[in-house]
Amino acid sequence: ILMPHPKLPDTYNLTSIGFRKLQLFSRFLKPYFESYWIVLNYFMKYPQNSIKAKERLKKIETIGNRMYKKKEIERIEALSIINYNNGIEFFTYNGVKGSDDNEKILFYADSIHKYLNCL
């Protein structure tokens, strides 16, 4: 699957069997990135502390359903409340608390898009 390169240190070659398994693994990761993208869309639109925690999750669900209907996300598995809660925790821990945190939002939006394009 992964073979060490014979001449270059810390470099690996991917076999064809490994590539097929990697494609399957990427299909497993896509819903997580899409869920985090949905949560980030919420943070882009709403300022910090503008909505209570219970209402926030409902808003995120609404945004996710709308994005799925518009085909902005591909996997229905991305519409997971557990993933939304994990996304909220991740972004708030890393300093994204609302639409005022524009620089951090752009950083994470670029990162998510970069990884989604690789999948």
With a cut of 80, say whether residue 5 has pLDDT above it: yes
Query: What does pTM read for this prediction?
Result: 0.83
Count of structural domains within the chain: 1
Whether residue 16 is contained in a domain is answered as no
Whether residue 60 is contained in a domain is answered as yes
3-state secondary structure of 2: strand
What is the extent of the structural domain holding 56? 29-118
Q: 29 to each of 7, 75, 77, 78, 101, how far by Cα in Å?
A: 32, 10, 10, 10, 26
3-state secondary structure of 52: coil
The pLDDT value recorded for residue 58 is 95
Whether residue 107 is contained in a domain is answered as yes
The pLDDT value recorded for residue 9 is 84
